[in-house]
Amino acid sequence: MNHKIFTSLLLIFALSALFSCQSRNLVQLKTDNNGAITLTINDDAVKTPLSIIPDGKTGNSAVWFKTNGEKNLLTGKPENIVSNENQFKATWKDAGKTVTLNFEKVEGNIHFSFSASPADDVTGWGLNMAATPDEFFTGLFERVVDGNQRESWKEGITEALDLRGQKIDMLVKPTLSLYTPFHISSKGYGLFFEGTWPGHYDFCNTNPDVVGISFEGGSLSGIIYTDTNPAELVKAHSLHVGPTIVPPEWAFLPWRWRDNHWNRETYYNGTKVSAPYNSMLVEDMLMMKALDIPCGVYWVDRPWAKNPHGYADFEWDEERLPNPQQMIEWLHENDTRFMLWVAPWVTGNMREEAHEKGYSQPIKGPHGDYNKDNVALIDFTNPDACKWLQKNGIEKMLKQGVDGFKLDRSEELVPETNDIILHDGRTAREVRNDYPVLYVETVNEACRNIKGDDFVLIPRAGYTGSSKYSGFWGGDIGSPPEGLRAAIIAVQRCAIIGFPVWGSDIGGYWQGDLDREVTARWLAFGCFNPIMEFGPTEDRAPWDMDSEPGYDTELIAVWRLYAKIHTMLAGYTHQLVVNANQTGMPVVRPLFLQFPDQPKAWKAWQTYMYGPDILVSALWEKGQTSQQVYLPEREKWVDAWDTSKTYEGGQTVEVNTPYEKIPIFIREGSEVDLGDLNALYRESLELAENVPDLKELEKSESF
């Protein structure tokens, strides 16, 4: 070989090796003529370069920090830099501080931290992620849009799973209150921020090319997950902040509740009550048994205890709920578990004791009767306060047979200012998002002390880490059709952010008259949620509606149909939750989690997978008699309503959707067998047409 050619080849090889080595560096730093910096993260899993960039529209640099409320834009070349395939660490001198950005690859993920020294006056950090025009973002919270929760079910709403165009405060708000600072992108990354300080996201609203993110606090740290499969991003995050709790299998049976339980002299139809327990609870149980509607869990909401708040001293109001322990025993004899409402505050004598012992904290804002003179909001950063509440409240009720708790109000009365210092030394502002986690952790510990693993908790508020301790319910979602729409989005959004055990108030919660068609559709949708809880139904039941027909045969039949299906799936659901605990894969799966390479899977937000085998397409609009359903390719799909029909995947089919029907398809080859659903509905109608005789039903019970 010619010597010059050989030398040239060696030079080309050496340069190629050099460039190859440089391209493997974890982060590439560029500085333009104006000193603006750009950080590009190198990872083969990301479809287009993942960059932290300046934002010309807001004037923000790629990274910035606040001191005493003033922004300091990080610019220019760093004074020191370490850059290789596993780490990038650079330091700048800025605003009299040493500012350090550190990125490090740990077990395939990129951990990052931004810090400044001295940090005494640093109050926040921000960064800008580059966005592409077709990029899809989802995660962060269970709401459809931020702000007042009613905005999530406003008439005419079009936002769905994709967060593009939205601005979101990372601050837990009432009452759709599941939040965590984690989102995924269709580009192939997931971004999670550690800590509990409030933050703010701008998903291409101010600038279509930028996702702007900022958080309060003296430093900022988190994890960038990368993978071509979005399910791997979700799984990695879920295991990092969890793993999720695995409730007992009975938690996945149908639930029933009402918002208020009055103890009346007669049942709904005028039959005199002879039972020694609360009349409304007994009515529900007797009617469900007679109509063969499965019920594995019954819960009683507040008021259930003494005083006007209905929650004093964990002492039963026996005028409302006579013979409570015997009532719980009767429910257990009927294979039904019992749950109670609890709150993060106490009242009655316990309120005085909490104040005296220093176990309480200030209450936010004006909240009517909820002030320091009536209730004591517990400071869960105080271990002694936690033990006191566990012993005198939670464990006290568990020993009387209670099987679990609905944990309410932990996002409503809590202060969020920096001038209040809690027991552990943090400000109320920093604890604001963490408070629901501390609350459910305290109750979970008490339950484990008494019940082992045989209990269930469902708060409405949660933040990073809450899923280790409980399942969840979707707050006070309104009852119009758009409320159901919000729930369909919420269960999928919660699956993404690490809250896989979820359910909503079927029929909605107190906003106008109960709509029977929406309730029927909600029953069908709720069947394919891990938690299926039916109530509060305006403190009524389908056999006691406040308009004609008072006894609603069709709605009763729909309830029985889907309660039966949900019961059939209890074991399946339990195994899916076990799998979520072990692998991080959620129970409910937006289509793009299982079929990410199919563009239609990213758009069909009403259709989702329930585990790997069941595809359902939820309806929410009134008067809808058919549904267009996308069936993912590479699978064959059996119509659960007509098992003689099997469809090739990769097509959209039109399904007739009468009052009682939600489209259900089973993946061919799975072991899921729902039986003859049409026959089950006909059987349910026949049973519902025979109005139960409550007098005879009472006689058959051994109270």
Please compute the mean of the pLDDT values over residues 114-125 and round it to a whole number: 97
Mean pLDDT to the nearest integer, 625-648: 98
Q: How far is the C-alpha of 646 from the C-alpha of 457, rounded, in Å?
A: 40
Q: Are strands 312-316 and 63-67 parallel, antiparallel or unpaired?
A: unpaired
| HSE of 465, CA atoms in CB hemisphere, 13 A | 15
Q: Would you say residue 81 has pLDDT above 80?
A: yes
Domains defined along the chain, listed by start: 25-240 (2.60.40), 343-473 (3.20.20.80), 590-675 (2.60.40.1180)
pLDDT at residue 370 in the model: 84
Contact 126, 53 (CB under 8 A): no
Helix (H, G, I), strand (E, B) or coil at 691: coil
Confirm if 333 and 401 have CB atoms less than 8 A apart: no
pLDDT band at 1 (very low <50, low <70, confident <90, very high): low
How far apart are alpha carbons 172 and 421 in whole angstroms? Answer: 19
To which residue do tokens 């994890």 refer?
Answer: 223
Residue 558, both tokens: 């729909």
Number of residues in the chain = 703
Token pair belonging to 39: 């950080």
CA dihedral over 449, 454, 460, 465, signed as positive or negative: positive
376 in helix, strand or coil? Answer: strand
Q: Which of 492, 470, 669, 674 is nearest to 572 (CA)?
A: 674
Q: What was the pLDDT predicted at 21?
A: 41
pLDDT, tens only, 347-401: 999 999 999 999 999 998 777 778 888 999 999 999 999 999 999 999 999 999 9
Give the Cα separation of 474 and 459 in Å (integer).
9
- CA separation for the pair 140, 182 (Å, rounded): 5
Q: Which residues contact 387 (CB under 8 A, 6 or more apart)?
A: none
Q: Read off the pLDDT of each residue in 154-183 and give the average, rounded to a whole number.
A: 98
Contact (Cβ atoms closer than 8 angstroms) between residue 66 and residue 38:
no
C-beta neighbour count of 159 within 10 angstroms:
16
d(CA 80, CA 29) in angstroms, rounded, equals 12
Q: What whole-number distance in Å separates Cα of residue 210 and Cα of residue 222? A: 19
Q: What is the pLDDT of residue 511?
A: 63
| Omega before residue 198 within 30° of 0, cis | no
CA distance 452 to 489: 33
Quote the pLDDT of residue 2. 55
| pTM of the predicted model as reported, rounded to 2 decimal places | 0.96
In angstroms, the CA 398 to CA 565 distance is 30
pLDDT value at 214 more than 50: yes
Q: What is the mean pLDDT of residues 207-225?
A: 98
Q: Does the structure show a pLDDT above 90 at 106? A: yes
DSSP string, 299-312: EEPSP-EETTTT-E
CB of 332 within 8 A of CB of 285? no
Residue 662 has which token pair? 């939600």
Give CA–CA dist 504/526, Å, rounded.
7
Say what the pLDDT of residue 18 is: 38
Which residues have CB under 8 Å from 658's CB, separation 6+? 625
| 538 φψ region: left (φ > 0), alpha (ψ -120 to 50), beta (else) | left
How do the residues of the chain divide into helix, strand and coil, expressed in percent and rounded to 5?
30, 30, 45
Give me the pLDDT at residue 19, please: 39
Q: Are 218 and 196 in contact (CB under 8 A)?
A: no
> How many whole angstroms separate alpha carbon 339 and alpha carbon 703?
20
Residue type at position 702: S
3-state secondary structure at position 566: helix
d(CA 235, CA 243): 10
How far apart are alpha carbons 489 and 336 in whole angstroms? 30
Return the pLDDT at 373: 84
DSSP string across 476-510: S--SSHHHHHHHHHHHHHHHHTT--SEE-EET-SS
Contact indicator for 503, 478 with CB cutoff of 8 Å: no
HEC assignment per residue over 577-644 = HHHHHHHCCCCEEEHHHHCCCCHHHHCCCCEEEECCCEEEECCCCCCCCEEEEEECCCCEEEECCCCC
Rounded mean pLDDT of 158-180? 98
**Sign of the alpha-carbon torsion through 136, 137, 139, 144:** negative
Task: Indicate the pLDDT class of residue 23, thresholds 50, 70 and 90.
Answer: low
**Average pLDDT, rounded, for the chain:** 95
Q: In whole angstroms, what separates CA 146 from the centre of its chain?
A: 15
pLDDT in tens, 289-334: 999 999 999 999 999 999 988 999 999 999 999 999 999 999 999 9
Q: Hunting for tokens 């931290």 — which residue is that?
A: 113
616 bridge partner residues: 608, 664
Alpha-carbon span 598 to 632, nearest angstrom: 7
Evaluate if residue 178 carries a pLDDT over 80: yes
CA distances from 431 to 69, 347, 591 (A): 20, 23, 35
Give the per-residue pLDDT at 272: 98
What is the mean pLDDT of the segment spanning 261-276? 98
Write down the H helix ranges in 377-503: 383-389, 395-398, 428-431, 435-451, 481-496
Look at residue 15 and tell me whether its pLDDT is greater than 50: no
Question: How far is the C-alpha of 157 from the C-alpha of 627, rounded, in Å?
Answer: 19
E strands along 368-438, which residues? 375-378, 404-407
pLDDT at 367: 79
415 closest CA partner among 124, 143, 151, 171: 171
pLDDT grade, residue 24 (50/70/90)?
confident
Q: How many Cβ atoms are within 10 Å of 179's Cβ, its own excluded?
A: 30
* Helix 570-583 × helix 230-241 angle, to 10°: 80
- Dump pLDDT digits (tens) for 460-504: 999 999 999 999 999 999 999 999 999 999 999 999 999 999 999
Is 171 in contact with 463 (CB distance < 8 Å)?
no
Query: What are the tens digits of pLDDT across the range 196-211?
Result: 999 999 999 999 999 9
- Confidence class for position 69, pLDDT limits 50, 70, 90: confident
Half-sphere exposure of 681 (CA within 13 A, CB side): 14
Cβ-proximal residues to 496 (8 Å cutoff; 6+ apart), any chain: 138, 139, 182, 184, 234, 586, 590, 593
